């Protein structure tokens, strides 16, 4: 694995593209792919899923398939990776549907609040829908000319607050919180909060300046974005949805790869989905304990407040599906497909 940092990144990528084109015949058994994302170096997703995928690909291929990794927005911002992957400027891109809602609105079904209880539940369910033959593959990934190699979804998001003044659901009204868009924005609006759409790397500056009062994030992401010192209070047992992303390759690039390489990428992706989700769930508990030990307050809502949150969650899924239906998108069909897949995942887990 090669991790690229600094330098003229776009020039390096263009030269790598040219070199790959010239050497196809001579290096028929060797493949180097370029992967990029917006995650800061050391982010929990990068350490738990991205790098293990890269290492597993190299191991399964006996070193003949290598991946050059460009983290930390070196190639582009989160919203750019669908376009960059489609254009071939990057081979494998970090594609979050919430960053391109106009292109991938249905995939937000995996991000709805209350839908699943753990990272493993949502990752396994989303993977069933996003991989070849799945509902989302056929409705969104294939039409966009991309193919997911593995998916990532963190444990249910919590409130990350810059003040310890929130004691009840009523205190949330008017709070400005960072949201990724899509289902997260619907959730905040339903509870009387003000969603402010921004990419995670922008949260630190916005919280430190008071532009936002906090954010929706998984607790394991707080340290990744250096937010620990800015965080005064958190929830630990709520479910504000999550963000689902897929490291994807363009279909055009996929079709150029030998079948053996395709098989390696597929096997590595399956393994990472299983291994990473279990690690995410374990690390979430550890992150919660560490923040409490550091003096971060915990917001616990009373029975009526919890009931209000649950009612909001239940209505958001229906509102989301109805809004998509009104735009001639199969929102209710996506919701039904997700629930069916989730039931199957839960059934498999209990056997």
Closest by alpha carbon to 99, among 195, 197, 176?
197
Rounded to whole angstroms, the Cα distance separating 137 from 127 reads: 10
The per-residue pLDDT for 193 is: 96
Count of Cβ atoms closer than 10 Å to residue 42 Cβ: 11
Mean pLDDT of the chain: 92
Four-CA torsion 261, 41, 77, 225, nearest 10 degrees: 140
pLDDT tier for residue 180 given thresholds of 50, 70 and 90: confident
pLDDT tier for residue 12 given thresholds of 50, 70 and 90: low
Closest by alpha carbon to 148, among 245, 45, 255, 39?
245
Could you tell me the pTM of the whole model?
0.90
Q: Residue 21, exposed/middle/buried by CB under 10 A (0-12, 13-18, 19+)?
A: exposed
Four-CA torsion 44, 108, 151, 144, nearest 10 degrees: -130
Rounded to whole angstroms, the Cα distance separating 104 from 248 reads: 13
Q: Residue range 183-199: average pLDDT?
A: 91
pLDDT tier for residue 2 given thresholds of 50, 70 and 90: confident
The per-residue pLDDT for 13 is: 59
Q: Measured in whole angstroms, how far is the alpha carbon of residue 142 from the centre of its chain?
A: 19
Q: Is the pLDDT of residue 92 over 60?
A: yes
Closest by alpha carbon to 98, among 152, 169, 25, 43?
152
pLDDT tier for residue 115 given thresholds of 50, 70 and 90: confident
The per-residue pLDDT for 181 is: 82
The per-residue pLDDT for 23 is: 37
Domain boundaries defined on the chain: 2-154+244-283, 158-241+294-350
The per-residue pLDDT for 20 is: 47
pLDDT tier for residue 199 given thresholds of 50, 70 and 90: confident
Q: Residue range 123-132: average pLDDT?
A: 98
Q: Is the pLDDT of residue 55 over 80?
A: yes
Q: Is the pLDDT of residue 160 over 70?
A: yes
Instruction: Tell me the pLDDT tens digit for each residue of 206-243.
Output: 999 999 999 999 999 999 999 999 999 999 999 999 99
Rounded to whole angstroms, the Cα distance separating 301 from 183 reads: 22
Q: Is the pLDDT of residue 19 over 50?
A: no
Q: How many residues would you count in the chain?
A: 351
Task: Indicate the fold that domain 158-241+294-350 takes in CATH.
Answer: D-Maltodextrin-Binding Protein; domain 2 (3.40.190)
Which H or E element spans position 68? Answer: strand 65-70
Looking at residue 49, the DSSP 8-state letter turns out to be I
Q: Which CATH number fits domain 2-154+244-283: 3.40.470.10, 3.40.190.170, 3.40.50.1220, 3.40.50.620?
A: 3.40.190.170
Helices (H), the chain: 9-22, 44-45, 51-60, 81-87, 119-130, 135-136, 183-190, 203-209, 219-222, 251-256, 259-293, 303-326, 331-350
Looking at residue 284, the DSSP 8-state letter turns out to be H
């Amino acid at each position: 694995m090669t991790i690229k940092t600094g330098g003229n990144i776009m020039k390096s990528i263009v030269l790598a593209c040219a070199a790959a084109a010239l050497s196809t015949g001579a290096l028929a058994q060797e493949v180097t792919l370029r992967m990029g994302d917006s995650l800061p170096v050391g982010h929990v997703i990068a350490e738990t899923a991205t790098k293990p995928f890269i290492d597993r690909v190299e191991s399964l291929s006996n070193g003949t398939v290598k991946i050059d990794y460009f983290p930390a927005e070196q190639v582009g911002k989160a919203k750019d990776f669908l376009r960059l992957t489609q254009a071939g400027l990057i081979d494998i891109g970090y594609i979050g549907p919430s960053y391109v809602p106009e292109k991938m609105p249905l995939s937000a079904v995996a991000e709805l609040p209350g839908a699943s209880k753990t990272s493993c539940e949502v990752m396994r369910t989303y993977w069933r829908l996003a991989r070849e033959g799945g509902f989302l593959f056929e409705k969104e990934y294939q039409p966009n000319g991309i193919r997911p190699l593995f998916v990532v979804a963190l444990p249910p998001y919590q409130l990350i607050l810059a003040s310890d003044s929130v004691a009840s659901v009523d205190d949330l009204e008017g709070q400005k919180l960072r949201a990724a868009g899509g289902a997260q924005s619907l959730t905040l609006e339903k509870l009387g909060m003000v969603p402010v759409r921004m990419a995670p790397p922008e949260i630190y500056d916005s919280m430190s300046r008071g532009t936002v009062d906090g954010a929706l994030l998984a607790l394991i992401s707080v340290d990744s974005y250096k937010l620990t010192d800015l965080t005064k209070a958190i929830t630990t047992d709520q479910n504000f949805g999550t963000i689902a992303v897929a490291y994807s390759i363009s279909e055009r690039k996929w079709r150029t790869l030998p079948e053996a390489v395709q098989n390696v990428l597929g096997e590595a992706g399956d393994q990472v989905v299983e291994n990473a989700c279990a690690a995410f769930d374990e690390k979430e508990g550890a992150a919660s304990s560490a923040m409490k030990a550091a003096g971060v307050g915990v917001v616990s809502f009373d029975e009526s407040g919890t009931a209000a949150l649950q009612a909001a969650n239940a209505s958001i899924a229906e509102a989301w599906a109805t809004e998509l239906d009104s735009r001639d998108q199969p929102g209710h069909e996506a919701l039904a497909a997700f629930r069916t897949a989730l039931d199957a995942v839960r059934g498999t887990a209990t056997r």
